[in-house]
Structure 1
Amino acid sequence: MSSSDIFIGEIIGTAVLILLGGGVVAAVVLKRSKAQNAGWLAITFGWGFAVLTAVYMTGSLSGAHLNPAVTLGIAIKDGEWGNVPVYFAGQLLGAMIGAALVWVAYYGQFHAHLTDREIVGDPADKAIEGPHDTKNTAGPVLGVFSTGPEIRNVWQNLATEILGTLVLVLAVLTQGLNDSGKGLGVVGGLMVAFVVVSVGLSLGGPTGYAINPARDLGPRIVHALLPLPNKGGSDWGYAWIPVVGPLIGGALAAGIYNIAFA
């Protein structure tokens, strides 16, 4: 794989991942969506199918890492770091593009949700920014773009992201890689999609299971930039946890693999 193939593949794959993953969240939480209130099962399976679609679409081009934690885990396993910055750059850019496309697809729903008097100013919405925040009036809108904890406890939130990502990356390293060992194969992509669903169902409750730094950071940047009325803050005080936690989890998974499986 050339660097250009990796960059283009990761942009396309991560954009599709966020378009479909963020799209299912928007479908469930925004007003005037036909899927409104479909629930957590719809979100977790939607993210799983998003992974499956993106992996099958771009696996032959870049290996479909689509996640800096996966890239880091594979690099530690193999000791090859040359293309890591290319993967990271493609993943972040792709995540931002995907988040912008979610906004395009649900433009009317965002507008209806953010300008409806029944929604704006709901005190319950402040849970997204924290009990002391007075600027957020957007309710679950930030959650379409990025994750946030139900209970703000730094060590617990960080540990949850570490554990979820450790399971994901260890599954990739032990079962998901293609014959070259550089990315996900066809069977591996299916398995990883089910692992994402499992992590979401079992460990997604506390933080919304980012388990992917690009998936959280890229869309959070887009949320901050988009001209959405009454959108509230982007919760930058929490933003480091879904970046650092998954990277630690990916590194730990690679360490466990090298000790126990290599």
Structure 2
Amino acid sequence: MTTLRLTSSSIPALGIPVSVVAILLLALFWFALTNVFGVPEYVFPSMSSVAAALLEAALSGRLLDDTSISLLRLLLGAVIGIVTGIAFGFLVGLSRTARIAVEPLINAFSGIAGIAWIPLALAWFGTGLAMSTFVIWNGMFFVVFANTILGVSRVPPAYAQAIFTLGGDRREVLRSVIFPGALPDILTGVRVGLAFAWRSLIAAELMGSPMGLGQWVNEAATYQRTDRILAGCMTIAVLGVLLETLLVSWVAHRTVVRWGTVAVAEERKAL
């Protein structure tokens, strides 16, 4: 029987070059749109205008200040969302009765998590840190909660029985079997939740939070500065990719890949 392992060497070598080609094609289309077809700057700014807007924001310190504020808000809300989502997910996931009871609630609240709660959050907390933290937490919690329950419920009971047979207690089962077995689903929830939380934060900042990348874009829209709007959108997009790459993927490669959890799942599929 061949053991399959997901390592960095198993990732297609063409992944990065293909991504670079896609970015270059997008840049070429952008250049043609503004320099060949003559789309006005106020409709869609040129790459040089956007670069100048980014440089201006960087030199003035606005880019660093707004980015730092947005990331700190995201960090606070995301940590609370991840911790509470995993904790309550384990509590519910370990009980079949509890899973059946909360499933309709999870489906209902997951559909309105994040941005839909911003008006109510504004009424409750105003435009301060509490509002953005609640919105981010809301975007993170239900996704992580649902995926944690799924991961815990998918761990085969025979694994836990094996630990008990060897003299282990319930704490050992949680540490050595259930948590590693549920971690791939938990990380999936964190990855999706971060995307929801990031979008929710930007939307909250657009609606009135002081400072932040969303407020930068909002102010640019007020003065009809499409170059600043696009510069802000590009900054938000790049940071979103970096968050996923540097945080979730980094954790995944040092846990589920190193532990062989992914390898086991792939081997089962092959069989």
The answer, yes or no, to whether TM exceeds 0.5 is no
The structure with more radius of gyration: 2
- Give the structure-1-normalised TM-score: 0.30
